[in-house]
Amino acid sequence: MGAKRDFVVINYQGEDRLLIPVENIDTIDRYVADGESYAIVDKLGRGSFAKLKEKVKDRLFEIANDIIRLAAARELVNGIKIDIDDYLIKDFQSSAGFKYTKDQTRSINEILADLSSGKVMDRLLSGDVGFGKTEELIYEESFDLLLFDVNIPNITGFELLKNIRQNNINIPTIFITSRHTADDVKIGFNSGCDDYIKKPFELSELQLRIENIKRLRQIDNHGQIKIDNDTFYNYEKKVITRNHEEFNLSKIEAKILEYFLKNKNKTMSEIFSIMGIGAVSLTLFLTQVAKKYIEIRYIPLVALS
């Protein structure tokens, strides 16, 4: 007997059939009908479909020519030139109350450039939810706490937090959601959240849970983690203070210290797994920290105990 293979069967007019190997399934496209019309099934081997494709191709060229003529005509039209340095515009921008991502800033600047160019604007800005603006902002800015809903467009809050944790962002996070089955709660904590609040809830409950996270993470009201009686780590500034002397940490040094502080009593192999780097790389970083901050060289090791 020969080898067995799987095929997709396409039925044509009459009893004609075409077998497509499953590994070539990418050669099949979905048919999109025009309005309420229905697709007409062709007979295999006839040239009617090829003729139809030629007609569509000709029509697309006509549409493209119309677009080019329209664009050329718009270039000759004088638009309204807006003074983007007007104090009303500046005041509106400064009072918007939002922190913009890099892409948002770039889009705004490009739009303002269009408005001040004196040409007819020809731009479409898509800024709907679900395009990653929240995740991008988290990577660019510093936050003390994240409050996430689970039900967000295009991606769940679970997936979003998992992405953030995989990029070594260790900001305390609470899920606030109406999804309250045991499986939902399990998925939430497995994705890296610090707490999970079920709707509806009282603000006093949220405050208690935030205070509990600060206690568990040993964060005081100034954003500092107490390492010992003389040594503190400022979570936001990435600075270690020992006997009133400050030591600035690099990003990787701060990341290592934060992982040690969060993952107390875990074995070194668990730390390697969490951080996603090998033992040699981590040892090198710890050695660099010890050389650079000799006065505090024991801190990452003490944090393990």
Per-residue pLDDT at 62: 93
CATH number at residue 210: 3.40.50.2300
Tokens matching residue 2: 């020969």
Query: Confidence band (pLDDT; 50, 70, 90) for 286?
Result: low
Angle between helices 279-292 and 268-275 (to 10 degrees): 100
Per-residue pLDDT at 64: 94
- Do 66 and 88 lie in one domain? The reply is no
- Do 17 and 66 lie in one domain? The reply is yes
Per-residue pLDDT at 297: 39
Per-residue pLDDT at 302: 39
217 close to 188: Cβ distance less than 8 angstroms = no
Per-residue pLDDT at 63: 94
Per-residue pLDDT at 301: 39
Residue 131 lies in a domain: no
Backbone angles phi, psi at 155, to 5 degrees: -150, 145
Residue 101 lies in a domain: yes
- Do 113 and 165 lie in one domain? The reply is no
Say yes or no to pLDDT of 3 above 60.
Answer: yes
276 close to 202: Cβ distance less than 8 angstroms = no
DSSP one-letter code for 150 = S
Q: Measured between alpha carbons, how far is 210 from 28 in angstroms, rounded to an integer?
A: 53
Q: Where are the alpha helices (DSSP H) in the chain?
A: 48-75, 87-94, 102-115, 133-140, 157-166, 182-190, 203-216, 251-262, 268-275, 279-292, 299-302
Q: Measured between alpha carbons, how far is 249 from 117 in angstroms, rounded to an integer?
A: 46
Residue with tokens 């500034």: 237
Per-residue pLDDT at 295: 43
Choose the final residue of a domain: 35, 55, 75. 75
State which residues form the domain around 167.
143-216
Mean pLDDT for 81-95 is 82
What is the percent of the chain where pLDDT is above 70?
Answer: 76
- Do 185 and 119 lie in one domain? The reply is no
Task: Tell me the β-bridge partners of 247.
Answer: 240
Tokens matching residue 57: 């191709």
pLDDT in tens, 8-57: 898 888 888 889 888 888 888 877 766 666 777 788 777 777 888 889 89
- Which of 54-58, 154-158, 287-291 has the lowest average pLDDT? 287-291
pTM of the model: 0.42
- Do 113 and 150 lie in one domain? The reply is no
What is the percent of the chain where pLDDT is above 90?
Answer: 6
Residue with tokens 């396409």: 10
- Do 161 and 121 lie in one domain? The reply is no
Q: Where are the alpha helices (DSSP H) in 76-202?
A: 87-94, 102-115, 133-140, 157-166, 182-190
Residue with tokens 């606030």: 176
**How buried is 125 (Cβ within 10 angstroms: 0-12 exposed, 13-18 middle, 19+ buried)?**
exposed
Tokens matching residue 282: 């981590």
Which H or E element spans position 177?
Answer: strand 173-177
pLDDT in tens, 44-86: 777 777 888 889 899 999 999 999 998 888 888 888 888 888 8
Say yes or no to pLDDT of 226 above 90.
Answer: no
Choose the final residue of a domain: 37, 58, 75. 75
Per-residue pLDDT at 304: 37
- Do 84 and 69 lie in one domain? The reply is no
Q: Measured between alpha carbons, how far is 18 from 290 in angstroms, rounded to an integer?
A: 69
CATH number at residue 282: 1.10.10.10
- Do 228 and 294 lie in one domain? The reply is yes
Say yes or no to pLDDT of 203 above 70.
Answer: yes
**How buried is 260 (Cβ within 10 angstroms: 0-12 exposed, 13-18 middle, 19+ buried)?**
buried
Residue 170 lies in a domain: yes
- Do 102 and 82 lie in one domain? The reply is yes
Q: Measured between alpha carbons, how far is 257 from 240 in angstroms, rounded to an integer?
A: 10
Q: How many domains, in total, are found in the chain? A: 4
Q: Which of 203, 198, 134 is nearest to 163 (CA)?
A: 134
Per-residue pLDDT at 59: 92
Say yes or no to pLDDT of 191 above 70.
Answer: yes
Residue 174 lies in a domain: yes
Mean predicted lDDT score pLDDT of the chain: 77
Residue with tokens 């996070």: 173
Q: Which of 300, 221, 225, 212 is nearest to 264 (CA)?
A: 300
Q: Measured between alpha carbons, how far is 194 from 4 in angstroms, rounded to an integer?
A: 51
